[in-house]
Amino acid sequence: MAINVAIATPKRKPQLFDKYLPHLSIAAIYAILLLGAVLVFFPFAWTISTSLKTEQQTLEYPPTWLPDPVQWENYPDALTARPFGRYYVNTTIITVLSVVGQVVSSAVVAYGFARFRFPGRGVLFLIVLSTLMIPFHILIIPRFILFKYLGWLDTFLPLIVPNFFGGAFSIFLLRQYFLTIPLDLDEAAKMDGASSFQIFLRIILPLARPALGAVAVFEFMSTWNDFFGPLIYLSSDRNYTISIGLAAFRNDYFTAWHLYMAAAAVALLVPLVVFFLAQKYFISGVALTGSGGSKG
């Protein structure tokens, strides 16, 4: 007859540190996040502070945070020193059309890769993804020569038209999201007599709003802040974008940091508003880049 003997181990008395450990961990996380927020907000706060100073105050050392007196007239002075209203209109036209072209074209191509079965689909998709590995600088000269022969230099076309042919990253992101949508919805719609275009328009696109919003936000931020593209293709002051206008303003008023910061603060206004209004799409886009369907 076997006898089981249980050896009792003495219980460790709970310590005071164990009670407060979860709270300390949460406090440490919030402290790190607060420090990161301060570091991110610091350049913007310095921009606002400098934009309200006099030219003499911007050159003082050690620098002061609070301007005395506050120079609100720096903003109208900066915006009238160069035609920033025109720059805003140009940037808005380029950005809106680029976003529309990128979203529509990428969604169509991604739908084809996600839903249609055709020979060489996988190879063709790999070729599309491989374009992400091509450095942008390699394409500068061929594109410039092409647009020169087309007569598009010093126009908005080189900055808008390529977006209507889709982008590899946007196609990949949307394709991965389309793969997560059940095929049963397509089959049910086909039984009701819906065509592929109707399925795409009435089923896929409404269900893919988070991914479409993410692509739109990414493209908006990229186009609005683009400096290199307008610098290459635009040469007339009337066609300048915000980024080129700020660079030209900096060359004209080399020591007027207060006016330059005022113009920069106004240029930041639209991206900040768009980001705060569409931040859920931006965050979902970041999450989508690391997840998605795995069906081939």
One-letter-per-residue 3-state SS of 134-177: CCHHHHHHHHHHHHHHHCCCCCCHHHHHHHHHCCHHHHHHHHHH
What is the per-residue pLDDT for 7?
52
What is the per-residue pLDDT for 159?
94
Q: Distance of alpha carbon 28 from its chain centroid, rounded?
A: 29
Q: What is the DSSP letter of 119?
A: T
What is the per-residue pLDDT for 181?
87
What is the per-residue pLDDT for 223?
93
Instruction: Output the pTM of the full model.
Output: 0.81
Smallest CA-to-CA distance from 143 within 229, 263, 78 is with 229
Report pLDDT digits (tens) over 140-173. 999 999 999 999 999 999 999 999 998 899 999 8
What is the pLDDT of the chain when averaged over all its residues?
A: 84
Report pLDDT digits (tens) over 90-104. 999 999 999 999 999
Q: Which residues of 255-292 are buried (b: 16+ CB within 10 A; e: fewer)?
A: ebbbbbbbbbbbbbebeeebeeebeebbebbeebeeeb
What is the per-residue pLDDT for 282?
65
Low-confidence stretches of the chain (pLDDT beneath 70): 1-24, 281-282, 284-296
